[in-house]
Amino acid sequence: MIHTDFLVIGSGMAGLIFALKVSDYGKVVVITKKEDTESNTNYAQGGIASVFAPEDSFDTHIADTVTAGAGLSNRAAVEIMVEEGPRLIQELRELGVEFSEVKTPSGKTFDLGMEGGHSQRRIVHAKDFTGREVEKTLVARVRSKENVRVVDNCLSFELITDENRCFGAWVLRKGTLEGIFSKFTLIAAGGCGRVYYHTTNPKIATGDGIAMAYSKGAEIRNMEFIQFHPTSLYGREIDGRKLLISEAVRGEGGVLRAKSGEAFMEKYDPRGSLAARDVVARAIDSELKCRGDEFVWLDLSAIGAKRIVERFPQIYSACLSLGIDITKQPIPVVPAAHYACGGIAVDLNGRTSIEGLYAAGEASCVGVHGANRLASNSLLEALVFSERAAQNVLERIGEKVKLPRTKPPSLREEMVGRETVERLALQLRKTMWEYVGIVRSDERLAAALKEITELRESIRQLHSAHRITVRSAELNNLAAVALLIAKCAIERRESRGLHYNIDHPERDDVHYRKDTVVRDLREAS
């Protein structure tokens, strides 16, 4: 048994920022499923959106965010995120994050990029590996703290709760269950992109935090709003994930073209290739279906070879290793599941509906993204609201916490076969891609709910009858998240942002300008 003041589940930006902020006030344990740099943060290419340009303003960034959110953004949360952003990005630079800069007559300043949905250049970046640079710096800082213990290759299996209060978590490490008791617990376990057959997310993005919180009766919000990134590399994968082609490529002048060479985005939106992600993803999906093509081209010729290599070295190298020289030829791209705008419902201080349990980053839903996330607002949200969660926890550090008597879940002897787990996971992911993808219908969603419910029951029976493994636990979590996405999608009988239903193609503000909330207390019994 391990006792600590703060338990952090996840090692992306949200978890690491929280750990740093509280580390001077108590003991911190950070648990992560893989090595400490493996997270969705690590794969964020674009950057962090924030107001630094003289011609930009908080009001403009707020307006762009709210417009992308299609009427569901929590304006108070958006204002906090936008206004706190510049200060915290400067803090990251002081911690050692090497953001790209340009020389001006008055000195150096951020080399601000442009991305879809933004009306100004405001993307602070480190070329096209911003997430990796941020993650590397934060991991080094956290590892230097004497009060912080980072536990790698450790799966958070089940929250320890009693009378709607969280006291830590049971974790699976080296085949055994260990209890970590804590005064306060932060879920920063990232997203759930692996619930879809095609995704830009790494293998660890299996929705563990969302599933764990839901199983204990936490309120979950807006899971129907899954963002499909418009441009992932077609036909090739790296370690089971689609290679993301950053939106910043289009911000620098990249143009989407059909296989015939025709630029098509202006038919769908006056912003063309720089329209918001939901618009671009649906447009590509429509073009592929209408034309019978497998992919569209992303043409970078207007950017120029020198600028491509200078601005996008990671994308250039990765594509070159796969046989595509993006300085000379267009990139074949298709949409892929990328980001969950919904998640564990939290207030402006990161507090969930379970006392003592906080959430931040992609696993949470504070409401800034509404029905569609604006490009490069994800790292900004993680940065701002993980700090706010830390501040709130520190205000409560003196509270007395009496630990309950509890015992770990039982571990059976017989393990479920890996082939069985992989087969069920593949079936689940294909069902989600086919029926709960970019374009939905009542019939497809009903079919999805039926298949997912049956699959989930089979998975739960296997899970309860066999020894828990990391893969079987992840499969169980994926099934829970798939059910949440399908249920929320069925409840929203309109089209808004990332949720498009051909049977209800119009936005209905009268009945559906509200969050979709799921809180099944039967799961916690």
Tell me the CA end-to-end span of the chain in Å, nearest whole number: 25
Catalytic residue among 122, 257, 277, 496: 277
CB 192 within 8 A of CB 436: no
Which residues does 312 contact at the CB level (< 8 Å), separation at least 6? Answer: 127, 128, 246, 248, 249, 326
How many beta carbons lie within 10 A of that of residue 91, not counting itself?
14
> How many CA atoms, within 13 angstroms, populate the side-chain half-sphere of residue 517?
14
Contact 33, 8 (CB under 8 A): no
Question: Exposed, middle or buried, 176 (CB in 10 Å: 0-12/13-18/19+)?
Answer: exposed
| SS3 state of residue 115 | coil
> Which among 87, 54, 82 has a CA at the least distance from the CA of 69?
82
Nearest CA to 452 out of 422, 433, 432, 426 is that of: 432
- For residue 375, the one-letter residue type is A
The answer to whether residue 277 is catalytic is: yes
> CA 3 → CA 9, 185, 405, 482, distances in Å?
15, 12, 14, 33
CB–CB of 254/327 below 8 Å? no
Spatial distance between the Cα atoms of 230 and 274, rounded to a whole number of angstroms: 11
Task: Return the active site residues.
Answer: 277
